[in-house]
Structure 1
């Protein structure tokens, strides 16, 4: 999962200044700055958090990533709020939004089934390497949760088949890490993280986006303000 060299990678990536971002997206519906999903149809919660992040500028000058656990899908956006690409993902076998204390320091064979969660939250992406020397993007280093290429090492787990299936129920198989298609990781996620840095929003499946991020429906808020103005 993690090793002594990964901490050095983390420190180096924090010190590296991100590349200058493109212009932020222009006003969308009703004059709002919203995320541009480029014609894709995400879940309502993924759209809400992405819109909120763009509207508030929460990701600063970085790229940002939406991990929709309920839909088993990952979206990567540039600093301009435009979608670069999306892909299916494999996630923690156990449902839940929290990390169990100490799980990141356990050997894999000692991690219990209910501890295999992909934690929800706002994380700063950190390029690094795992214990096998493979490059990964750390989501939560202390919990040993990263985003990485899919590894079909155990034939009985059928990870490639699970990732390719149309259903989302069989995408819960990992110890908590986010497994991605090789081409998506290498061509989209990793280059964006290295070029701009990234904020990762792992959507909750038990709590709400309001509880985890403070996110709200910016389009609904704008409509409410317009109604108030009309009745003044």
Structure 2
């Protein structure tokens, strides 16, 4: 399946095809508030009731697919339960200056959405939409306040590598003894 990595710390989206080849990368706009979890029930609430500190882009692994919003515009559903999608940048309020934020050199101003991931129109149309047309894919949203282990259940690479090295070091001796017997 195609997959995407959303790097919240660097406010970037990287898109890969099913063979793992990078198809493109772009800056992104993310939820206003830092954090890796969504408020319970947030996907069922009216946007006008969502407080600034609740506007997070949740971290995790999500199976995503294309769909249409209430206005008929195509978007990529990332997490239906929390109403998080990835879509073309929207105008929003004039004071938000979303397009300008996407093109700025700093990531400090890329926090503005209610949690959705906004990407440039051209990137969505040329990279995201073709990659997910006719198939599901996986979106990995990297954590920013919790560890990867907490979010993805990943293992400690250094600890596991040390254990594997010890096992490999012990194996030749065990094999030598087995061959001699």
Q: 1:124 Cα deviation (Å)?
A: 0.6
> How do 1:1-232 residues align onto structure 2 when only pairs under 5 Å count?
62-216=1-155, 221=160, 225-226=164-165, 229-230=168-169
**TM-score with structure 2 length normalisation?**
0.86
1:216–1:71 distance in 2 versus 1, CA, 3 Å? farther
Q: 1:220 Cα deviation (Å)?
A: 8.2
Aligned equivalents of 1:169, 1:178: Cα separation in 2: 15
From the two aligned structures, give the one with the greater strand fraction. 2
Aligned equivalents of 1:158, 1:143: Cα separation in 2: 25
1:160–1:220 distance in 2 versus 1, CA, 3 Å? farther
Aligned equivalents of 2:59, 2:167: Cα separation in 1: 35
Q: 1:143 Cα deviation (Å)?
A: 1.2
Name the Cα RMSD after superposition. Answer: 1.9
Aligned to 2:174: none
Runs of 5+ in structure 1 lacking a partner?
Answer: 1-61
Aligned equivalents of 1:133, 1:158: Cα separation in 2: 23
What secondary structure is seen at the aligned counterpart in 1 of 2:129? Answer: helix
Q: 1:141 Cα deviation (Å)?
A: 1.1
Kept after mapping to 2: 8 A contact 1:74/1:89: yes
Kept after mapping to 1: 8 A contact 2:30/2:117: yes
Aligned equivalents of 1:109, 1:137: Cα separation in 2: 22
Aligned equivalents of 2:130, 2:26: Cα separation in 1: 15
Aligned equivalents of 2:11, 2:93: Cα separation in 1: 21
Kept after mapping to 2: 8 A contact 1:79/1:196: no
Aligned equivalents of 1:165, 1:175: Cα separation in 2: 20
Aligned equivalents of 1:220, 1:183: Cα separation in 2: 42
Stretch deviating more after TM superposition (84-93 or 187-196) = 187-196
- Aligned residue pairs total 171
